[in-house]
A and B are shown apart, each in its own frame.
Chain A
Amino acid sequence: MIGSLAIPPLFGLLITEPVSVAHYLVVGAIMFTAGVACMATKRNALGVLMGIELVLNGANVNFVAFASPYLAGEGARSLGLDGQAIAVFVIVLAAAEAAVALAITLNFYNNHATVDVDRADDLKG
């Protein structure tokens, strides 16, 4: 499965062979995982927000990869315009969600003098 990306002639193969959808999926997976790790580990609320942006971007990379007729193999079908439309909607919604999350963070900062999410425990038992 992973054999086609075997380590030793990796560099040479990557540059001479045309890329496929799978290459983009790998990039999307790495960005998605980095975003999840960011959301899980950061104590700064803005760091968590950056993780969310990375997650949405990873998903967008996947959508664009599936939508591209250039990347699809011979005789394979791509999502075409549908994938690009979904990517456009994701970008718009991510911007909207970042605005609201930032407003919430600013309010939290004004009330608690910190952006440490571990200190958001007013409702704790």
Chain B
Amino acid sequence: MTPTLAGLPLTAVVPPLAAINWHSFFFLLFASIACGFAVAVVTATNVVRMALYLVLSLAATAGLFLLAGAEFVGAMQLMIYVGGTLVLLVFGVMLTAQAPFVSIATSGGDRVLAGVVGAALLGALLMAGLSVPAWRAPASGKLAEPAATPLGMALVGVRVDEPAANAPEKAVRPGYLLPFEIISIHLLVVLVGAAYLARAKRRKTPRAIDVAASVEPPASVAEHAAIGRGPAGAGSVLAGGPALTGGPR
């Protein structure tokens, strides 16, 4: 008599060790970390904790990319997204730190509305995603060729990767030279624009934050939020720092 748990055989709920598909196990691990911390970003109130949860969520996403066989995209996610964009974000959080007594929470009505819209959107996306039978077929386990060189060649305009298994004979496989050039110019424009926007300006009238800082002295040293607002704060130490890190990488 096989042991049961709530009417189902126990082995269905807690599978024996030999039957575990380790790819699925790690997928479940990374997926729960990514989704869990993404939801934590929504629910957290402290901005620094939100940034930390976002870092963990995106790092777990890099793990998901590696599990799907996209090694280059996974490494790129770690380097550019987590190592670049999120450092930028954390810089921004530190530079605009507010005193804790300023409540910046959303009102209840807005939250309910957002919850309803979010649930509807999630339902629609899940229904769309689970509706195509071809997408629910179990993984075939075919290993992909390493993508670094084919990707590099495609960005120069030449496609050297093998065509998909049952692609039509005369399928057009375009190179990515034009998007590559457009993105290069785009990054240059962004670099110049962000540096210009974030430059230290010569002012005749004092900045609003300096006025605010002189009017309300920080309560105690432990108010680490006040550090960001001080006149000798991190902003002057890093003249133009954050804007430089968003450039071409």
Contacts and interface: CB of A to CB of B under 8 A. Distances in A.
Given A73-B134, A81-B150, A84-B147, A96 B186 contact: yes
B245 A29 contact: no
Contacts of A40: 110, 113-114, 117-118
Interface string B182-217: 010011001101110110000000011101100000
Residue among B24, B28, B179 facing the most chain A CB atoms (10 A cut-off): B24
B64 A67 contact: no
A120 interface: no
Interface in A1-48: 1-2, 4-5, 8-9, 11-38, 40-47
B127 A1 contact: yes
A15 B20 CA distance: 6
A40 B11 CA distance: 43
Given A22-B129, A89-B183, A106-B92, A113 B197 contact: no
A16 B137 contact: no
Q: Is the interface of A mostly helix, strand, loop or mixed?
A: helix
Contact of B38 (A34, A45, A97, A98): A34
Contact of B141 (A29, A44, A70, A78): A70
Counting chain B residues whose Cβ lies within 8 A of the other chain, the interface size class is: 35 or more
B57 A24 contact: no
A17 B51 contact: no
Interface in A42-58: 42-47, 49-51, 53-54, 57
A106 B242 contact: yes
A65 B68 contact: yes
A24 B31 CA distance: 8
A65 to B, nearest CB: 6
Contacts of A94: 81, 85
A97 to B, nearest CB: 8
B71 to A, nearest CB: 10
A47 B223 CA distance: 21
Contacts of B23: 18-19
A36 B121 contact: yes
Residue among A11, A13, A40, A103 facing the most chain B CB atoms (10 A cut-off): A103
B165 interface: yes
Contacts of A35: 38
Interface in B103-154: 104-106, 110-111, 113-115, 117-118, 121-122, 125-127, 129-131, 134-144, 147, 150-151, 154
B156 interface: no
A38 to B, nearest CB: 5
Nearest to B51: A50
A46 B96 contact: yes
Contact of B209 (A37, A57, A104, A113): A113
Interface string B71-88: 011001100110011101
B151 A31 contact: no
A18 B47 contact: no
Closest 3 CB pairs of A and B: A99-B246, A73-B137, A25-B129
Given A20-B136, A49-B89, A100-B197, 14 more contacts: A17-B21, A19-B138, A30-B35, A30-B38, A32-B121, A35-B38, A41-B106, A61-B64, A72-B142, A91-B80, A91-B81, A99-B85, A99-B245, A110-B208
